[in-house]
Structure 1
């Protein structure tokens, strides 16, 4: 299923309009989950952590924090009354995420928002962008500290829920078994963590890189790092517009979450964003498959031929033959086509 999700993202998120629709969907779902949490949230079944219908508060917290991230990114990319409105929504969704008691999503959203603020290329000065990000984080902190719930106390506590010990033992296992121990076999190699009673015998490292190294070996770790770097590089190349900045922020958000919680399969948003980055990379290599032909002339094109050629025409000399690919530029210098995120 995870492979299908990543492949679908690779196929569907190649066009700017598709990525814009994707961002809108994430933002609206995050805001909707935040509203449901505040209106119908229950705090009994998870020791003070807000949930709805017994759902895992971590997943709900991720969606609410994602709504906070995208509204915050949109606020950084605009100004005036619209920015104030978006900041208000960002504060509301941050508060809602805090009620779940999940620290990872809030921290991941803060990191991604700071990154989006730093890479945003607008006419506003760096001081203005830094002030805007600081205002969002300050508002979120004030909302968190003002709530007298067990969930908020958990966020600011030093309880790691056994993750520190789990990470240490997982690192030892990875060093001792460079070929991996097989997927789902970690339980027999570590001291059972506090939550083992609820997860049974299927245990994982709660860190995507450690899990890949432990279960799949160093080769699996190298492969995961490779696709992450390729996707990150492709998404960084698109930060010339608000939508590109938002896509990069969601990528960072998903990777940060995958570094502290759930397993490789459970972090599906990360695989979606990997697929989105790979889609951009493939679009750069071959802008439009099916419009490729071989020109056997070994001489370079004349100036007149270059002028007459379409500006979207790319040429490359390979072993005395020029491979010509027709298509549009995958990394335009102008802003992304379509409407901005919000």
Structure 2
């Protein structure tokens, strides 16, 4: 049980370690937060693997991310020999690879899945508090946009808005009624704080994800009307609070949504066009990190980045994996665990279409490969937290236990 909880929570910390480690509250750590998180996650994966081998309960789930990363080796051959490219590859084949492989082992336990979501939610609450009430929380000297001390506006918004999405889903969870109400009330507050950062991608991502999950999740089928009304209320209240605050971040996001953001819009459009034209001229890719030769570190769109640097074949494989992951989680979304992971995959992917690069979107890789170990709700009456929940990619061996894991299915939002 301890291994599962530590693994799940630490994986959540690793997903956002880049935005947390610069904060003053992390100064007590003798190690860099990312390095510390990596070491703990590696140990959890190792001990989980040892225990599975000892119990003859070996999982084959890690083959999928490892196979993808073997494909990722091909763009290494054609990349530029620069410090930027070398650093990108080093992170891609260490930290980012771990974020892809770790869920296939750690998330075999339902306890670890819940611990991961709880970790994300706790990080969101702490980040929102630090952003709203911190002493050094202004993003720059010429605006009143907020950020978590030691972080960026983009990373702050990602952390806070992810919690807002989970808070919204908490209103439909099997929690006691008072906690469901509290969760629903907390959702617009977290959305409000994320809007104050003025970071467009994460805010747009969470709004789209809230609407999408209400419309597609099987667990919310009986509560579709309540879900739609709740989504309208949460989004409307969060936006209204932000507009009343006089924050510069509100105007920045509204101009982006309305299409009036001439500077930001035209800049991104140029980069997207450049990436697309370059990919057409180089169907096998220009190599990881080589987009820098055009004056930009990356195209600010993960699919375009993979297309232009990795090539058409790598692009097609990633798109197929993404579509398969969404379909698997949708089919399993009778329960709230699968629904929560589907919503995290939604928000992480949409955000990756606007912000950061292939290494900066660690949450996307975690959610993507988590989809291949999340079980159907009807298959989840498994014995104990240590039993496999992946269903189809398991080497079966007759191991049984007597302590059932509780079912997590949705309750109505009152």
Distance 1:113 1:77, change over 3 A: farther
- Correspondent of 2:304 among 206, 210, 227: 210
2:133 is the counterpart of 1:35? no
2:395 is the counterpart of 1:337? no
CA distance in 2: counterparts of 1:255 and 1:171, whole angstroms: 19
- Correspondent of 1:57 among 135, 153, 164: 153
Match of 1:23 in 2: 117
CA distance in 2: counterparts of 1:246 and 1:204, whole angstroms: 30
Residues 139, 153 of structure 2: 8 Å contact kept: no
How many positions carry a matched residue from both structures? Answer: 291
Residues 170, 210 of structure 1: 8 Å contact kept: yes
Match of 2:14 in 1: none
Looking at both structures, which has the greater relative contact order when contacts are Cα pairs under 8 Å and sequence separation is at least 6? 2
What's the Cα RMSD here?
Answer: 2.7
- Tell me the TM-score normalized by structure 2: 0.65
Q: Tell me, what secondary structure is at the counterpart of 1:186?
A: helix
CA distance in 1: counterparts of 2:240 and 2:302, whole angstroms: 31
Distance 1:186 1:83, change over 3 A: same
Q: Note the 1:86-235 alignment, pairs <5 A.
A: 86-118=183-215, 119-122=217-220, 124-157=222-255, 158-159=260-261, 160=264, 162-189=267-294, 192=295, 203-235=297-329
CA distance in 2: counterparts of 1:13 and 1:240, whole angstroms: 18
Distance 1:77 1:46, change over 3 A: farther
Match of 1:238 in 2: 332
CA distance in 1: counterparts of 2:235 and 2:333, whole angstroms: 22
Q: CA deviation at 1:29?
A: 1.0
Q: CA deviation at 1:125?
A: 4.5
CA distance in 2: counterparts of 1:103 and 1:285, whole angstroms: 39
CA distance in 2: counterparts of 1:86 and 1:290, whole angstroms: 39
Q: CA deviation at 1:254?
A: 0.4
CA distance in 2: counterparts of 1:120 and 1:285, whole angstroms: 21
Instruction: Tell me which protein shows more helix as a share of its residues.
Output: 2
With 277-286 and 242-251 compared, the bigger mean Cα shift is at 277-286
Q: Tell me, what secondary structure is at the counterpart of 2:289?
A: coil
Q: CA deviation at 1:59?
A: 0.4
Q: CA deviation at 1:174?
A: 1.0
CA distance in 2: counterparts of 1:66 and 1:135, whole angstroms: 18
Distance 1:95 1:277, change over 3 A: same
Larger Rg: 1
Q: Tell me, what secondary structure is at the counterpart of 2:334?
A: coil
Match of 2:82 in 1: none
Residues 300, 353 of structure 2: 8 Å contact kept: yes
Q: CA deviation at 1:101?
A: 0.8
Q: CA deviation at 1:144?
A: 2.3
- Tell me the TM-score normalized by structure 1: 0.77
CA distance in 1: counterparts of 2:352 and 2:194, whole angstroms: 17
Q: CA deviation at 1:123?
A: 7.5
Residues 77, 122 of structure 1: 8 Å contact kept: no
CA distance in 1: counterparts of 2:177 and 2:141, whole angstroms: 40
CA distance in 2: counterparts of 1:106 and 1:237, whole angstroms: 27
CA distance in 2: counterparts of 1:58 and 1:17, whole angstroms: 30
With 219-228 and 70-79 compared, the bigger mean Cα shift is at 70-79
Distance 1:76 1:140, change over 3 A: farther
Residues 98, 152 of structure 1: 8 Å contact kept: yes
CA distance in 1: counterparts of 2:207 and 2:234, whole angstroms: 9
Match of 1:331 in 2: none
CA distance in 1: counterparts of 2:339 and 2:270, whole angstroms: 36
Residues 242, 340 of structure 1: 8 Å contact kept: yes
Q: Tell me, what secondary structure is at the counterpart of 1:206?
A: coil
**Which consecutive unaligned segments of at least 5 residues does structure 2 have?**
1-94, 376-388
Distance 1:246 1:44, change over 3 A: closer
Match of 1:45 in 2: 140
Moved over 6 A (4+): 339-342
Residues 76, 132 of structure 1: 8 Å contact kept: no
Instruction: Tell me which protein shows more strand as a share of its residues.
Output: 1
Match of 2:391 in 1: 284
What do residues 70-129 of structure 1 show as CA deviations (whole Å, max 9, x unaligned)? 001112446854443112211211111111111111111112111222225358443222
CA distance in 1: counterparts of 2:203 and 2:187, whole angstroms: 12
